[in-house]
Structure 1
Amino acid sequence: MKSLMITKYGDISSSLEQQEVTRPIIEANQILIKTYSSSFNPYDYKVVKGDFKAMGKISFPIGIGRDVSGIVEEVGKSVKKFKVGDKVYSRPNESFVGTMAEYVVTNDEDTALMPSNLNFDESASIPLVGLTSYQALVDIAKLSKGESILIHAGSGGIGTFAIQLAKHLGAKVTTTTSTKNISFVKSLGADKVIDYTSQNYLDEGAVFDVVYDTLGSNYTLDSFKVLKSGGRVVSIAGTIDSITAEQFGLNKFIRMILSFQARKVTKAAAKMNAMYRFLFMSPNGDQLEKLAKLYESGTIKPLIDKVFNFDESIQALEYLAKGRAKGKVIVKIREDI
């Protein structure tokens, strides 16, 4: 079968290659998905660039892609929830990364039936961004009705989902974007929009109960400048905190280095009596079921910027890396049935 593979660390055009690989063999609790659509996320091009070398060694070549929608081709003998022919979607476990492929293996517990009102492209736009923001806002931040949240980069794949989810939870949503995307993010439910080309979100003052840091770098530390005392900062791009480092199973030496790097953030959080957590999302089929219901009810709508064919998958990742996509970038692995 064909699969897009990372062959080395480096730039996108020279580090990715479509290769013929052996079709995977499933175990008792796994399913084999005949892939129809997949999608890229910023995490993918960061892996190619080598941004996560400290998290563990990679043996090249290795697959790329963490979102999949398709049809169940085969089920393991212990699988009860799914049958051959089911339309499903998943964010596979890291052991099975490589959804830019004609077939994908995933654990049954990491899989759910696709939202009944969505097609393969739309369903493939959901798993990673949906699970990431659900776990950030519901599980960690515990965002509640009437609270105020700042969501950075509201027009991106994460932002477009997070705005809709935060509004569903009853929060007052402020987001940042560029001038051309103001009406777009307002249409998703944003109550206030900060145009970063002419405004500074730091001028808001300490008014937010929750800051969802999707950008990292200086934005992580600056989150505490706009946070109420006792507020919560959840980051998917900033400094890794000690709890997450332990969850990763990193050795003590690496954790010590990360702790040193996080000292400014840790100090800022303590000063504000605030919570800081770095989130590395976990695959979760039960949560995908909950998300499917939100899409089926029309509470959340899929946002797709552009769809590429499988043979254009390298160009698709290059396009995403430019940082201008409004919503998700989809790769159609095969034509819809």
Structure 2
Amino acid sequence: MKAAAINQYGGAEVFQLMDLPTPLIKTDEILVKVHATSVNPIDWKTRQGMLQLLTGYHFPMVLGFDISGEVVEVGTAVTRFQPGDQIYACLDNLTGGAYAEYAVLSAKAACPKPEKLCHKEAAAVPLAGLTALQALRDHGKIKQGYSVLINGASGGVGSFAVQIAKAFETQVTGVCSGKNKEFVKNLGADRVIDYTQQDFTKDTAKYDIIFDVVGNKSFWSCQNCLQPNGVYITTHPYPVNFLESFFTAFLPGKKAKVVVMKSNGLDLKSLEELIDAQKLRPVIAQTYPLSAVAQAHQESEKGHVVGKLVIMVAS
């Protein structure tokens, strides 16, 4: 099979288009012909070697976590899917494997592809959508009437978080650059703050949930913006963030949480229901062929992508 893989950690230039063996499946796994995938920051952080203590040194390494495609083989213990099914998923192994013509994952991580989305659109959803859903629902315990702030509202996770928060009938404030204010408003935000003009931590507004997707505001800097039992959630797994989460868990009042996304077919089903109800839609910034994964990574690393970058693997 064709795959965009790396033989060492480094810059985007380490990607090579290779012919690799089609992966073999275990009894509880499925093999999927990948139609499309997308780029997430964890992909290029892995490529750079920032996670090498976890990801190891087994090369060639195929990166990428999001897939939308067709099931071509199922393990003997799999009953939920059969060859020909159209699915979307976030791969549930450590390094991914989506930048290839075929990918393997556990059946429990997959979900039928939303009928309203083509493969290109569906591939933009899993990792970012699951991160936003699990942050707000599981860590933030979001409820109707809450006041929610999304820092980084125009990016991949942030654009899903704004829409999911609105689906829960909350008051949403999005933080982004001035050029993206109308985009975030169109996602459903009730209020938009231009971070180049205003620091939301100096504002008098109070929030039940602050979801810091960017990771440039600490729990301590956000404390004055939180309601007495408010929750600060970050996507960044820095040691200090886990320490804050640990200590605030045992104290009354405001909490700090770190969201570590878990691949989950049932949660993808929840996202599918929001998509079918037209309360959630993926936003695609740009599309690339598999041979241009390096360029997609370089664009993602700039940190100013509005929505998601999608890689088309099969037509």
TM-score (norm 2): 0.93
Displacement of 1:218: 4.0
Match of 1:246 in 2: none
Q: 1:269 to 1:175 in 2, by over 3 A?
A: farther
Return the match for 1:302 from 252, 264, 282.
282
SS at match of 2:129: helix
Match of 2:174 in 1: 175
Match of 2:232 in 1: 233
For residues 107 and 295 of structure 2, what CA distance do their matches in structure 1 show? 31
* Structure 1 segments (4+ residues) deviating >3 Å: 53-58, 217-221, 261-272
Match of 2:158 in 1: 159
8 A contact 1:206–1:228 mirrored in 2: no
SS at match of 1:80: coil
Displacement of 1:95: 4.5
User: Cα RMSD between the aligned structures?
Assistant: 2.1
8 A contact 1:215–1:238 mirrored in 2: no
**Identity fraction in percent:** 32
Structure 2: gaps spanning 5 or more residues = none
Structure 1: gaps spanning 5 or more residues = 240-257
Match of 2:77 in 1: 78
Amino acid at match of 1:179: G
Displacement of 1:26: 1.1
For residues 65 and 55 of structure 1, what CA distance do their matches in structure 2 show? 16
Q: Which moved more, 1:214-223 or 1:179-188?
A: 214-223
Displacement of 1:219: 4.0
For residues 190 and 152 of structure 1, what CA distance do their matches in structure 2 show? 12
Q: 1:176 to 1:113 in 2, by over 3 A?
A: same
8 A contact 2:46–2:95 mirrored in 1: no
Q: Which moved more, 1:61-70 or 1:209-218?
A: 209-218
* Aligned: 1:109 with 2:89: no
Displacement of 1:265: 7.1
8 A contact 1:67–1:127 mirrored in 2: yes
Amino acid at match of 2:6: I
Match of 1:10 in 2: 10
Return the match for 2:265 from 285, 289, 296.
285
Match of 1:131 in 2: 130
8 A contact 1:206–1:225 mirrored in 2: no
SS at match of 2:172: strand
Amino acid at match of 1:166: A
SS at match of 1:94: coil
Match of 1:93 in 2: 92
Displacement of 1:9: 2.5
SS at match of 1:132: helix
SS at match of 1:125: coil
- Aligned ranges for residues 134-145 of structure 1 at < 5 Å? 134-145=133-144
Q: 1:267 to 1:218 in 2, by over 3 A?
A: farther
Match of 2:198 in 1: 199
SS at match of 2:143: coil
- Aligned ranges for residues 325-336 of structure 1 at < 5 Å? 325-335=305-315
* Aligned: 1:315 with 2:291: no
8 A contact 1:224–1:268 mirrored in 2: no
TM-score (norm 1): 0.87
Q: Which moved more, 1:61-70 or 1:273-282?
A: 273-282
Q: Which moved more, 1:86-95 or 1:221-230?
A: 221-230
8 A contact 1:4–1:100 mirrored in 2: yes
Displacement of 1:50: 2.6
For residues 166 and 157 of structure 1, what CA distance do their matches in structure 2 show? 15
Displacement of 1:60: 3.0
SS at match of 2:285: strand
Query: How many residues were matched structurally?
Result: 315
Q: 1:209 to 1:58 in 2, by over 3 A?
A: farther
